[in-house]
Amino acid sequence: MAEAKKVAKATTTKTKKAVAEEVVAVTAEAVVAPIVEEKVAKAGKRSLKAVKEAEAVVAKEERKLKAEVNAEAPAHHQKPTRSILERRGKNYRKANELVEKKKVYELKEALDLAIKTSLVKFDASVEMHINLAVDPRQADQNIRGSIALPAGTGKTVRIVVLADAKDADAAIKAGADKAGSDDIFAALDKGIIDFDILICTPAMMPKLGKYARVLGPKGLMPNPKSGTVTPDVAKAVSEAKAGKVEFRVDSTGIVHLAVGKVSFGVEKLEQNASAVLATIRSAKPLSLKGGTFIKSVHLTTTMGPSIKISFN
């Protein structure tokens, strides 16, 4: 053991790793070897208990010296995490350079810039994201409604109407893709949903209740607030074909709504966007007296950068 301590102090001329190896070798030779040659005694330094304690001391010193050697090893170099913008594609980064992030654009100017920053090969949608100072958990602040966009949506929608025979004929004449009851319920039983908008008469709503778990999460469940539960199904179909869209605030208090396509041009998009802002303003809850109702409005295209716009 004395020789092992002398070796351990010799760190000035040898590395700690070499010292650790020599300590183990010397200790094993000085302590364990004599015990192998002689029989294990019942008591004393050569007893079984003493041998195990000596081996434990050697193992502890070995672990300690190895830990010191590993601590002195150079740390593994890690590359710094890239920002979200750096992880984007080159087309997005190129479009993002055209937008001044600290600037608040006027609506017409923002629409013109949104069209320029849409670099995708398809006809991208132009979206508005309106942040409201509401708490959606409060019933009167759960903003929801519908709006007929003056310039339309640019999308072809499939409309199905649940109604009796008389109303079904009127819905077909107004432009519905399918109308009736038995065939539609049979398709829903099989899980077939081949429509974008479902319009229903009040009399059919009780029969539609059992499909709420399927239609609700997809946003297809008819609702009186959105105008999809009405006795005048022909009028509802005409409005839907003309560009009527639904909107609803999400759990964070933001309304997300597409206001057209890039191919519409600035004038048509401005008509739709202005109509959306006016409808949102009119939906302000009575419980919000004074203060700010609309916090911010951002405009963007599909896969394009965000543009902050003035809403006053």
pLDDT tens-place values along the chain, 312 residues long: 455 455 445 444 445 555 555 554 555 555 444 444 445 667 777 787 888 888 888 888 888 888 877 766 566 667 777 777 777 788 888 888 888 888 999 999 999 999 999 988 899 999 999 999 888 888 888 888 888 888 888 888 899 999 988 888 999 998 889 998 888 999 988 888 888 899 999 998 988 888 888 888 888 888 887 788 999 999 989 888 888 888 889 989 999 999 999 999 999 999 999 999 999 998 888 888 777 889 999 999 988 899 999 887
Kindly state the tokens that stand for 67: 């830990």
- pLDDT (0 to 100) of residue 79: 74
Which among 142, 187, 138, 137 has a CA at the least distance from the CA of 162?
187
Kindly state the tokens that stand for 2: 């004395």
SS3 assignment for the chain? CHHHHHHHCCCCCCCHHHHHHHHHHHHHHHHHHHHHHCCCECCCCCEHHHHHHHHHHHHHHHHHHHHHHHHCCCCCCCCCCCCCCCCCCHHHHHHHCCCCCCCCECHHHHHHHHHHCCCCCCCCEEEEEEEECCCCCCHHHCCEEEEECCCCCCCCCCEEEECCHHHHHHHHHHCCCEEECHHHHHHHHCCCCCCCEEEECHHHHHHHHHHHHHHCCCCCCCCHHHCCECCCHHHHHHHHHHCEEEEEECCCCEEEEEEEEHHHCHHHHHHHHHHHHHHHHHCCCCCCCCCCCEEEEEEEECCCCCEEECCC
Neighbours of 29 (CB within 10 A): 12
Q: How far apart are CA 148 and CA 151, in angstroms?
A: 9
With 0.75 as the threshold, say if the pTM is over it: no
- pLDDT (0 to 100) of residue 18: 58
Q: Which residues pair with 182 in a beta bridge?
A: none
